[in-house]
Chain A
């Protein structure tokens, strides 16, 4: 090669970016033509009317916001006994610590652009000012609100100009900011002290009770402590282990907390030790050993034969029980059924020692989980809770939503796979199930399960009302879950199936390692949408007897003598709570999608 050196190409200057800013934006989007401007004014006018009407309702004479302040505990936990409330705080604390560690374990520490914070703050100021203009309040209030809004906006704007471009804040500063905000709310803002003391309504000025201040301070300490603690931990413990631990916790932990919330120390540990734990141990260890043996590659057909035998046994236990011949705890029957399914799949997942140990380990975890869930949800509370024998309020809403989503997921995945299977019998069964369930309103399903099913059950089978609701709702939700996952399954290209087949993977292996992981990733947006819907529709359990958040607001609070007729006030608050949670879920899903790169592959 000769040594000809070319001069490096010189970059031309990039053209100036076109001017931008709110004025330009408005000119291009809102007032680009006469017609456009007319539309803009029309919709501004309509929004103006609606907003001022709504704000008027919020501050109207007859609104008594003390109804919400006084009942904050009722909204979230209904009539959970006050002297046992430490358990609720413990549970909340455990959840908060888990959130902190999970954020670290999954590397969720996005840096936040200061420009974005400045923008949001300016938006907040503008909103306050607009509220000041629109709300029908006295002149001094109005002026005050406008002044505060403008002040917030101007300060944020000035701060934004002073800050250098492209600056970011670490995620922890947002957490600290949040904690400080909560502390201001409980220690400084003069909400007034309202409560029912021995049936008497007390209303005094000042900040909230010390029994609210202390726990919230501890909670915020836990949030920050767990976040920074987990950060230190992540330097010593490998991330994969932290992630695994947190997944196990999120699947198993809430059941433990529910247990803790509903069982008092006098709980019948004798029964648990004599019956529940031995059964779980027998299935966990015995089944684990069996599966370890069955997954040795030389076993081959034997695993299928054992699985088929177990399946027959499981079917027999139900048939016999139906005729009242053999009585047996429901969870034993279920465990035999599950063990049969695991045995049937054993040949597919056979492999070396570590693979087999993991398979047996997954089984044991599964046994632990199902036995937790069955025991946790199917035994009535031993706490002395009045009337409905369970927790209520938002705690009930959250519990039902969480369990339904957890349990309907495997049902949905199986149904979706069955519906796309090449075996007609699976296809017909799952299609029938899905289409039947999707054609029935949820409320009908709930009625059916809470009232009819207990009547049909043979004598010695018992089902608590909550368990019945839970099962009905799960089966309902599973059908929708199946359709969402099916959408994901259909998006997988044919080449993926062919490549897996060409490598000699069996159908089950192809499904477990290639098809499902990709399909679930694609389905995330839909699954989150469904999770939000499930969360909101839990309000229907009020109709079959549950005291969820909505019913507490609509009925309990509105019938207190001090707040007669305040149901609209309570409903405003209830809507707000639902909105905060649903909106956070959808935001979280969006960042999850970005992280997994959905749609950008």
Chain B
């Protein structure tokens, strides 16, 4: 585990409560080590952007946070609940952490409305009428209420990703994880998804976003994390990252991507 350069955060942010705490998180796929002891704290209502070259372990890290992957060493504490093999903790965390995938992963056999209401009805045990009313509000928020009766296959990529965001929000999560939400989209659709994410950030959602959209990172992020080869290399505010990054590896990566 190499030394992490932590350029700090604003006092206001530092004063908030911890929402996600990772301590020495290690993860292996067979013999291959994908995470080499990640230490990271995400504050309440913070927007954290995770950067890094392909294969650096960004997806693995955020997938460990809602236990789509199981880490082998270290601790992950989400909203005060420690992730362990206790099924009840996993269920609790999953229903409080929303996740948006690169490939949308909408349920193709269900209408947009059913995609959004499924989990509230069956996991939260909401009455159907109430769940549908909430779902319509969410679809309005992401700008596609008129598509409610369609099937995912009939929508554009940008629309599908917005449905996927609405589907996660319907569970009223405290935290949202985004794994490259715009990477599978045609260029003209990227901004419609980013706009929804910006709105969400302004509403005070705690967000961890893996993304290569530098404009979004500069404008919205409270802190940026740079990862490489399973390690967190550098953490800091957007100003720090875009004006005087410290690590050579960070500089190199930013010069390639900007």
Contacts and interface: CB of A to CB of B under 8 A. Distances in A.
A352 B106 contact: no
B149 interface: no
A504 B106 contact: no
Contacts of A513: 118, 122
Contacts of A504: 91, 94-95, 119, 123, 171
A509 interface: yes
Given A352-B128, A504-B95, A495 B107 contact: no
Interface string A508-543: 010001100110010000000000000000000000
Residue among A501, A503, A513, A518 with the highest chain B CB neighbour number at 10 A: A503
Interface in A378-405: none
B91 A352 contact: no
B208 to A, nearest CB: 13
Interface stretch (B23-31, B97-105, B187-195, B247-255): B97-105
Contacts of A500: 107
Interface in A543-601: 601
A354 B68 contact: no
A503 B123 contact: yes
A495 B99 contact: no
A493 B107 CA distance: 11
A212 interface: no
Among A493, A504, A518, the one with the most B-chain Cβ atoms within 10 Å of its Cβ is: A504
A354 B126 CA distance: 11
Contacts of A601: 108, 153
A488 to B, nearest CB: 12
A360 interface: no
A169 B37 CA distance: 70
B68 A498 contact: yes
| Size category of the binding interface on chain B | 20 to 34
Contacts of B95: 503-504
Contact of A509 (B94, B122, B126, B164): B122
Interface in B42-69: 66, 68
B107 A514 contact: yes
Nearest to B63: A498
Contacts of A354: 127-128
B155 to A, nearest CB: 13
A503 B171 contact: yes
Given A503-B118, A503-B168, A505-B123, A518 B98 contact: no
A601 B106 CA distance: 13
B3 interface: no
A446 B13 CA distance: 74
B229 to A, nearest CB: 24
Contact of B101 (A495, A505, A509, A514): A495
Contact of A502 (B94, B103, B107, B127): B94
B123 A517 contact: no
B121 A501 contact: no
B66 A502 contact: yes
Contact of A496 (B107, B122, B168): B107
A350 B125 contact: yes
Given A349-B122, A503-B167, A505-B119, 16 more contacts: A351-B121, A352-B127, A354-B127, A499-B106, A499-B107, A502-B66, A502-B99, A502-B168, A503-B168, A503-B171, A504-B94, A504-B95, A504-B123, A506-B91, A517-B109, A521-B109
Interface of A: 297, 349-352, 354-355, 493, 495-496, 498-506, 509, 513-514, 517-518, 521, 601
